[in-house]
Amino acid sequence: MLEATIGRPNGRAGGINRLVVLSAVLATALVVGLLVGLKLWSSPGDPGSFPSSVQIEQQYGVRFSRIAVVGDGGLITLTYVVLDSEKATRFQSDVGHPPELRSEARDGGTKRVSVMKQGHSLRAGQTYYLVYQNTKGALRHGERATIQLGDLALRHAPVL
Amino acid sequence: MKRLTIQRALALTAAALLVATPVLVRTQASAAAEMSEGVLCDTDPNQTFSLTARDGYISTPDGNSIYMWSYSNSKRGFQLPGPTLCVESGRQVTVILHNSLPEATSIVFPGQQGVKANGNPAQPQFDSGGSLTSLVQTAAATDGSVTYTFTAGSPGSYLYETGTDVDKQLQMGLYGALVVRPAGHPNQVNDRADSAFANGKEYVYLLSEVDPDVHLAVERNQPVDVNASKSRYFMINGRSMPDTLAPNNAPWLPGQPYGALVHIKPYDAVTNPLPATIHYLNAGSVNYPFHPHGSDERVINRDGHALQGGSGEDLSYLKYDLDVGPGQTLDVLMDWRDVEHWNATTNPIPTQLPAITDQLLVGSDTWFSESGYLGTKNAVPSNLTQNNECGEYYHIAHSHALEQATNYGAAFGGMMTVFRIDPPAGCVSQ
């Protein structure tokens, strides 16, 4: 009975139902669109969302602050703020064990690091950087990566 | 009923998604388009530009934040340097300057003739005591404006910059690039056919410097001693290494929209016959001996004039170190040629390949893809996915005054970037 009523295109109830369904669907689409839009806007480009690791900061004296794909996709910059000059200098001088950057979306990573020049007396509060070759496009804009440093890992870092 | 309703709902949902998807796709596509390389021109059909002198902040790679003054498109926010204005030679250009700064400012257009300010000849200004106050008519402090007009001169690149309290205001960032194109030949540097460059391979390198003490004094409204100034940051397009490697409009550099990465393929007579062009402009106070590794560049213009003799003979020259003097501009053509045609199988490099590139920067394997052959990668250590994206080359390019290649003394930084050379077939990750 209800099915028959709604099935009639000229029925008042059917028109109202259609309006209700249409409104609900459009409202849902709007909400979904807004949520997706907010997701696109807020991550991972929001610099405030960069994670931190107390263990890494205590052991290495640095706080990582940004991963960015640059060089038209061929290079990556990893920046870090020095918290403890002595520990950070050891970290930078240990060229045989640079942090490895690994995509959390697929297999792949890079630890082929270059620049900046070692030997600085790293000053607390100052930002320094490493440049990586983006091995096989290991990291891409808009995804999350893990910074692996010895046994410690900093996960879910946004890739700009 | 349920079936019908669900079908309708599904249909409506699909319709709604069809409506919504292009919006989302367009958003992402726009973001991708904005993250680009190469020159970003401000253009206008009538060659009329509205600029606002305003203050803002830039960031430096060492984490500093610097108070700046700069010109910006009046419809956009603060940016350093000022917008790159691209115009056509022989046509009138109008620049309307609005001033929101706390002191009078202006624009001079070195190399342009017959410049007028509010319809009158642009000329130096003096106070009642006869002292020079500005090289040209000003826009008054806070809310003044002035309109400059001129006919765009010979094709090439030019600075536009403040003509008022120049030592201070230039240091504060009031400068930009003006690119004058030959009429009817937008892909030539000048009127000579041999100045043609590859489509999309045009780059502006606006070189400048910052003394943070001067900027802090201005921000705090304290006296400025420009004679005691010592610059600590050196920039290409308002950025220092490694920010120079980042794309145009990188979201983490909102006030510094212009990147400085040259990205080309090797010269090939058939598939890639035309060079790239780089416009070098010095908005600073000292020489910037800019030094691209890897290949010479052909200087074809100086200060907006083609290097040619009275009979049109070509006087361009190849240069390995480009000395760009204060206020000077150089336009160059550059390509990368695989001169030796090294090939791992048919023409191997007749020496043991080094384990490093030409610079030992950090480790024993830096900037090296385990292969000296463009587009080729050798076996990689097990802990790596690949050595680099596709066996491409990166050549460092930097100021050879090495204090200019630092971020407040910390190398490598400052006036430095890389030139990227992809394999002939393009860069396909392997």
DSSP codes of every residue in B314-338 = B--EEESSEEE-TT-EEEEEE----
* Average pLDDT of the residues in A6-10: 40
B403 in reach of chain A (CB within 8 A): no
| 3-state SS assignment for residue A149 | strand
- Tell if the CB–CB gap between A72 and B261 is shorter than 8 Å: yes
- Neighbouring residues of A47: CB distance < 8 A, sequence distance ≥ 6: A65, A66, B252
Residue numbers of A between 70 and 129 with CB closer than 8 Å to B: 70-75, 77, 79, 81, 95-96, 98, 100, 107-118, 120, 125-129
Separation in Å, CA B241 to CA A116, B234, B274:
10, 9, 28
- Those residues whose C-beta lies under 8 Å from the C-beta of residue B169, and which sit 6 or more positions away, are B69, B105, B162
B18 at the A interface (CB within 8 A)?
no
Q: What is the pLDDT along chain B (430 residues), one digit of tens a residue?
A: 444 444 554 444 444 444 443 333 333 334 444 467 899 999 999 999 999 999 999 999 999 999 999 999 999 999 999 999 999 999 999 999 999 999 999 999 999 999 999 999 999 999 999 999 999 999 999 999 999 999 999 999 999 999 999 999 999 999 999 999 999 999 999 999 999 999 999 999 999 999 999 999 999 999 999 889 999 999 999 999 999 999 999 999 999 999 999 999 999 999 999 999 999 999 999 999 999 987 899 999 999 999 999 999 999 999 999 999 999 999 999 999 988 888 878 988 777 665 443 334 434 444 455 566 777 766 544 433 334 557 788 888 999 998 999 999 988 899 999 999 998 888 875 4
pLDDT tens sequence across A58-82: 999 999 999 999 999 989 999 999 9
Nearest to B411 by CA among B213, B246, B240: B240
Q: Would you call B76 an interface residue with chain A, using a CB distance cutoff of 8 Å?
A: no
Cα of B250 to nearest chain A Cα, Å? 8
Name which of B12, B385, B387 is nearest A109 (Cβ-Cβ).
B385
Residues of B in Cβ contact (< 8 Å) with A7: 1, 4
- Quick one: pLDDT at residue B4? 42
Q: How high is the pLDDT of residue A13?
A: 52
Go through B272-286 and write b for each residue having 16 or more CB atoms within 10 A of its CB, e for each that does not.
Answer: beebbbbbbbbbbbe
Contact B79, B257 (CB under 8 A): yes
Domain locations in chain A as residue ranges: 54-159
Question: Is the CB of B384 less than 8 angstroms away from the CB of A114?
Answer: no
Q: Considering CB atoms only, which of A3, A25, A118 is closest to B13?
A: A25
Among B27, B247, B429, the residue with its CB nearest the CB of A136 is: B429
- Which residues lie closer than 8 Å to A145 by C-beta, 6 or more apart? A67, A101, A102, A103, A104, A139, A157, A159
Is the Cα dihedral B12, B17, B20, B23 positive or negative? negative
Does residue A39 belong to the interface with chain B, where contact is any CB pair within 8 Å? no
How far the first Cα of chain B sits from its last, in Å, is: 55
Residue A5 banded pLDDT, cuts 50, 70, 90: very low
Residue to substitute from A1, A19, A25, interface B, most B β-carbons within 10 A: A25
Cβ distance B37 to A72 less than 8 Å, yes or no, reads yes
Structure tokens that stand for A26 in this block = 């459009």
A6 pLDDT more than 50: no
CB A77 within 8 A of CB A147: no
- The chain B residue lying nearest A23, using CA atoms, is B12
User: Is the CB of B246 less than 8 angstroms away from the CB of A68?
Assistant: yes
**Token couple for B84:** 């790159």
Say yes or no for a CB contact (<8 Å) between B8 and A18: yes
Measured between beta carbons, the chain B residues lying within 8 angstroms of A28 are: 13, 16
Angle at A53 between CA A48 and CA A58, to 5 degrees: 130
CA–CA gap between residue B176 and residue B169 (Å, rounded): 13
* Cβ separation B16–A40 shorter than 8 A: no
Q: How many residue pairs bridge chain A and chain B with CB atoms within 8 Å of each other?
A: 164
Residue numbers in B near A36 (CB within 8 A): 24
CA distance A80 to chain B (A): 9
Amino acid at the residue B414: G
**Cross-chain Cβ contact A112/B410 below 8 Å:** no
Residue B300 near residue B279, CB atoms below 8 Å: no
ipTM: 0.80
pLDDT at B21: 39
Tell whether A66 is within 8 A of chain B (Cβ): yes
d(CA B257, CA B254): 6
Measured distance CA(B402)–CA(B289) in Å, rounded: 10
User: Quick one: fold of A54-159?
Assistant: Immunoglobulin-like (2.60.40)
Distance CA B247, CA A69 (A): 9
Q: Are residues A115 and B394, on separate chains, in Cβ contact within 8 Å?
A: no
A71: nearest CB among B245, B369, B387: B245
Residue A4: what pLDDT?
34
Question: Which residue among B23, B246, B365 places its CB closest to the CB of A70?
Answer: B246
User: Are the Cβ atoms of A37 and B369 closer than 8 angstroms?
Assistant: no
With CB atoms and an 8 Å threshold, state whether B411 touches A116.
Answer: yes
B16/A26 touch (CB, cutoff 8 Å), yes or no: yes
